[in-house]
Amino acid sequence: MTEILEIIVKNRDATGTGSARAIRRGGNTPGILYGNDTQPINITIETKLLVKHFQSGRFLSTLYDLNIDGKKSRVIPKDIQVHPVKDTPLHVDFYLLSKESKVIVEIPVLFINDDICPGLKKGGVLNIVRHNVEFSCPANEIPENIVVDLAESETGESIHISAVKLPENILPTISDRDFTIATIAAPAGVDETDEVETEESENEEASSTQENEE
């Protein structure tokens, strides 16, 4: 499981537009912590630190330990508002989790054994349909990635979610179909249908020649 990172935040008493602007001028971003039937807590977080986590690309699907004046709480970011022009954060929401909480998160797909993949060694191309897949999973069991093994994948093959070995209690949110994660496309200019037809034709000719010789 992914290591849980800690983010240090502070309580804030003042609220409102004027207060939020003053917080931003001071190099911090206002936010709120809510959820799990608790009273919402207004917080501030250092803007540079928030930007660093936000630019990781997985901010809204990553668990954090929020350190509020020395007290840690397991959370997941629920929303971040950014400036429409400057792209700087204006406000951030964190959701408080319990041990029983389940969350919906996007988990990256990791492809392995591409160096020995039969289809790729023949000149095929890996077309990734989904770089991330959305899952429902326990808040304390979010995997770092899901692994797709290409060791036996051939040209023309589609790799579906059913072919991926998933950790226990990790379920894709798309449950009505066996969706595609990636395909191994034929090399440019090669029609796989033509290859099959040519092979069948060659087999028929060989069979016919053998019959004539007999």
Chain segment 121-178, per-residue pLDDT in tens:
999 999 999 999 999 988 878 888 899 999 999 999 999 999 999 988 899 999 999 9
Q: In DSSP terms, which residues pair with 100 in a beta bridge?
A: none
Write out the H or E segment, with its range, that includes residue 21: helix 17-25
* Length of the chain, in residues: 214
**More confident call, 2 vs 76:** 76
SS3 for 70? coil
DSSP string, 88-151: -EEEEEEEE--TT-EEEEEEEEEEE-GGG-HHHHTT-EEEES-SEEEEEEETT---S-EEEE-T
CA 46 to chain centre: 26
Q: Which residues does 27 contact at the CB level (< 8 Å), separation at least 6?
A: 46, 47, 48
Q: Is 120 in contact with 126 (CB distance < 8 Å)?
A: yes
Handedness of CA 99, 100, 106, 112 (dihedral sign): positive
The per-residue pLDDT for 82 is 92
CA–CA gap between residue 80 and residue 85 (Å, rounded): 15
Q: Is 87 in contact with 29 (CB distance < 8 Å)?
A: no
The per-residue pLDDT for 189 is 61
- The type of residue at 48 is K
The per-residue pLDDT for 36 is 82
Nearest to 151 by CA among 140, 143, 139, 159: 159
The per-residue pLDDT for 1 is 52
Chain segment 187-208, per-residue pLDDT in tens:
876 555 444 444 444 444 544 4
In degrees, rounded to 5, the angle at the alpha carbon of residue 167 between the alpha carbons of residues 113 and 3 is 85
Chain segment 54-86, per-residue pLDDT in tens:
988 778 878 899 999 888 988 999 999 999 988
Chain segment 5-56, per-residue pLDDT in tens:
899 999 988 788 888 999 999 999 999 999 888 899 999 999 999 999 998 8
Q: Is 124 in contact with 63 (CB distance < 8 Å)?
A: no
CA–CA gap between residue 208 and residue 202 (Å, rounded): 10
CA 39 to chain centre: 31
What domains does the chain contain, in order, with CATH numbers? 5-98 (2.40.240.10), 103-193 (2.170.120.20)
Chain segment 92-122, per-residue pLDDT in tens:
999 999 877 888 888 899 999 999 999 999 9
